[in-house]
A and B are shown apart, each in its own frame.
Chain A
Amino acid sequence: MKKKKFTNRLAVITLAAASCLTFAAQAAEGVSSGALLASMCNTCHGVDGGGSKSIPALNDLESDELVETMLAFQTGEEDSTIMNRHATGYSEEQLKALADYYTSMQ
């Protein structure tokens, strides 16, 4: 009888501890890929992507708008003086992470 109670208590503790560890890992995140990618853009596109003079803001775009525009810069469908040279450096996965980051800040 006692052994069973101990085992049950141990199960509860382990379950709780595992939950805490998962919670801790989620809350104590360092820097996300999206945040680091966005920081590269923000050097020109303004603090937190807020734009700078003639360089447009990124932080108020719809998620798919940013991805589609960057893909259009890659193909040349969207005209640019410099963005084609940047856009071609990123994969679609990176562009999605970037777009999701900016929309998460809205």
Chain B
Amino acid sequence: MNRYNRRDFVKFMGAVAATTPLTWANTATAASGKVVVVGGGFGGATCANYLTRWGSGIEVTLVEKESQFITCPFSNEVIGGDAELDSITHSYDGLIARGINVVTDVASGIDTAGKKVNLSNGDALDYDMLVVSPGISFKWGEVENDEEATKEAMPHAWQAGLQTTLLRDQIQAMADGGTVVIVPPTKPFRCPPGPYERASLIAHYLKNNKPKSKILIVDSNESHSKQAAFQEGWNALYGYGPEGMIEWVKGSEGGQVESVDMANMTVTSAFGETYKGDVINLIPHQTANNLVHESGLTNQDGWCSVDQGTFESAASKDVFVIGDACVAGAMPKSGHSAASQAKNCAAVIISRLAGVEPPAPTYANTCYSLISPEYGISVAAVYQLQEEGITKVSGGVSPVEQSERVHSKEAKYAKAWYKSITSDMFS
């Protein structure tokens, strides 16, 4: 009788097992390919990290122009004199140890047709998939003279490093009784609560060192992030309003700055009012980084439209844009948001290269602000992909009328958050 028997079957399966690729036998994904990540900040470093954490056969290259990463988060602590710059400076050695090819250079252009990233040194990097996390560029000229003024006379300190210590040193050199003027940018901008945390930590320094001084926030916006919580904290710690240390002028009441005068150290509003400062922190209006504008990835508003489930660019296949530069529905432009988007993006890329379904997207943001080094507040949210895009499904700001103990805990959690997210990015 001609029929197969068990011996034949076993032999056959043995032959199959012998030819089965080893990658199927272990738990790592079978994804392979070349992924280039441009930008080594909260979005890019996290993405490169997780591509190697979840994938094993992917060749990851990270292009970043600086040899170290200095974080904007906690830079306000440096400005307020409570921390040193080295406490917010991070090495890329951990990513190199993960097997990521870290290229210290500027990405000068993206050739989406040829699937190459051009570098300023003349080299070009081929990619199968590209992640662009380049952050913001300043929209010079929205405030007259802003580009020249922010170099030294009125630092922006909205990119951490030399500008951070420049602003700090100017505050420390100011005489008691002086005025610090802070000009926040018009929404949308990187780090919505940033200017108001900055006012807080400068106030903390002034209260302890130059108590007759004042802080004037001249704001083109009508409202700001965590507003009720900030005002409650300012009132409690520093005095808020014309009789207090911190005053806030909103757009419709003369807060829209149109020009600045470096020689006289003044800022002038749309209504013609002039405000004088002994120190002026001028934070320029913002748009997506020049790289994505020049590469044809931006929309008419100057930010990158993406598929909000995958972060694939609406303008170019196999190119993903994450972080400040992209439009991510309800998510704010924060480092934590960028890291959350980066992880979703890494999961999508690995799945695509492996030929499997990606997991359902899930996103979160958590953002702490220190009103003093011992008084913290936060905003937190969980998001889901819904029909209209990334939608908030839970969360909010720290409620008002909380005890001192709650704010003390939030300040401690802020420091724990910082240690956690930077380790998650770089180790």
By a beta-carbon cutoff of 8 Å, the part of chain A in contact with chain B is 1-2, 4-5, 8-9, 11-13, 16, 19-20, 23-25, 27-33, 35-37, 39-40, 42-47, 52-55, 81-82, 85-90, 94
Contact A86–B380 (Cβ < 8 Å): yes
Contact A53–B421 (Cβ < 8 Å): no
Contact A43–B413 (Cβ < 8 Å): no
B162 vs chain A, min Cβ distance (A): 28
A33 vs chain B, min Cβ distance (A): 4
B3 vs chain A, min Cβ distance (A): 6
Collect the chain B residues with CB atoms within 8 Å of residue A54's CB: 409, 412-413, 416
Partner of B417 from the list A16, A27, A52 (CB cut-off 8 Å) is: A52
> CA–CA, A53 to B411, complex, Å?
12
Contact A32–B359 (Cβ < 8 Å): yes
Residue of A nearest to B355 (CB): A28
B371 vs chain A, min Cβ distance (A): 14
Q: Chain B interface: which size bin?
A: 35 or more
Contact B2–A55 (Cβ < 8 Å): no
Contact B364–A43 (Cβ < 8 Å): yes
Given known pairs A30-B31, A94-B362, the reply for A39 and B393 (CB within 8 Å) is: no
Contact B29–A37 (Cβ < 8 Å): no
Q: A5-B2, A42-B424, A43-B340 are in contact. List 5 more A-B contacts (CB 8 A).
A: A43-B421, A54-B416, A82-B398, A85-B395, A89-B393
Collect the chain B residues with CB atoms within 8 Å of residue A12's CB: 4, 8-9, 12
Residue of B nearest to A33 (CB): B359
Contact A37–B27 (Cβ < 8 Å): no
Contact A81–B410 (Cβ < 8 Å): yes
> CA–CA, A55 to B19, complex, Å?
48
Interface residues of B in 75-108 (CB under 8 A from A): none
Collect the chain A residues with CB atoms within 8 Å of residue B26's CB: 27
Asked if B427 lies at the interface with its beta carbon under 8 angstroms from chain A, I say yes
Partner of B420 from the list A16, A32, A43, A82 (CB cut-off 8 Å) is: A43
Given known pairs A36-B344, A55-B417, the reply for A43 and B366 (CB within 8 Å) is: yes
Partner of B381 from the list A4, A46, A87, A89 (CB cut-off 8 Å) is: A89
Contact B354–A30 (Cβ < 8 Å): yes
A20 vs chain B, min Cβ distance (A): 6
Contact B23–A85 (Cβ < 8 Å): no
Asked if B228 lies at the interface with its beta carbon under 8 angstroms from chain A, I say no
> CA–CA, A28 to B350, complex, Å?
11
Quick one: which of A1, A16, A31, A39 has the most chain B CB within 10 A? A31
Asked if B363 lies at the interface with its beta carbon under 8 angstroms from chain A, I say yes
Contact B12–A25 (Cβ < 8 Å): no
Residue of B nearest to A4 (CB): B2
> CA–CA, A56 to B378, complex, Å?
18
